[in-house]
């Protein structure tokens, strides 16, 4: 009996800021893989890194942002890759960003937008992204997140 491999080599991060009127999520337009798609911050885990360290590094590399607080989202993004015949699972993290923080995009993205969760859900390409965004809004925006999910090491 053949099995489908399950791989976990990525970390995903949803950046959130609070304006005077709403919470907004950061989406980045990709220029390399998934060209032209709107995505959250994500990247490969390097040797010696924890997943949350990867999420912070990728946030810095892709946007120049530093979070006020970092949480485990208590959810994983899951998707099937037909070209690899594998299931990929990526832990998701939430970074709360200061409303006045400036973004400096790297070469992996052509533009960025801070949008409402509803707008973000319409902009992303994949159901897994939509599920993650809905979860983040429900657990981290509409409610006070559990203190047990806070990553205090940042």
| Assigned domain for 154 exists | no
Expressed as residue numbers, the domain containing 17 is 6-149
| Assigned domain for 1 exists | no
Tens place of pLDDT per residue across the chain (154 aa):
889 999 999 999 999 999 999 999 999 999 988 889 999 999 999 999 999 999 999 999 999 999 999 999 999 999 999 999 999 999 999 999 999 999 999 999 999 999 999 999 999 999 999 999 999 999 999 999 999 999 988 7
**DSSP string for the chain:** -----EE--EEEEEEEEE-SS-EEEEEEEESBTBTT-EE-EEEEPPTT--HHHHHHHHHHHHH----SEEEEEEEEEEEEETTTTEEEEEEEEEEE--TT------TTEEEEEEE-HHHHHHHBS-HHHHHHHHHHIIIIISSPPPGGGB-TT-
The pTM of the full predicted model, rounded to 2 decimals, is 0.94
| Assigned domain for 31 exists | yes
Give the CATH number of the domain where residue 132 resides: 3.90.79.10
Give the number of domains in the chain. 1
């Amino acid at each position: 009996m053949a099995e489908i491999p399950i791989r976990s080599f990525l970390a995903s991060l949803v950046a959130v800021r609070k304006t005077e009127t709403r919470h907004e999520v950061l989406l980045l337009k990709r220029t390399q893989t998934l060209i032209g798609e709107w995505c959250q911050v994500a990247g490969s885990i390097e040797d010696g890194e924890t997943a949350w360290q990867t999420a912070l590094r990728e946030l810095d590399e892709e946007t120049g942002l530093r979070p006020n607080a970092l949480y485990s989202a208590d959810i994983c993004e899951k998707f099937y890759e037909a070209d690899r015949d594998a299931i990929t699972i990526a832990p998701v993290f939430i970074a709360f960003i200061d409303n006045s923080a400036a973004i400096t995009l790297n070469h992996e993205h052509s533009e960025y937008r801070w949008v409402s969760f509803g707008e973000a859900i319409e902009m992303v390409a994949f159901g897994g992204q939509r599920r993650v965004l809905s979860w983040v809004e429900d657990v981290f925006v509409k409610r006070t997140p559990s203190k047990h999910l806070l990553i205090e090491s940042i």
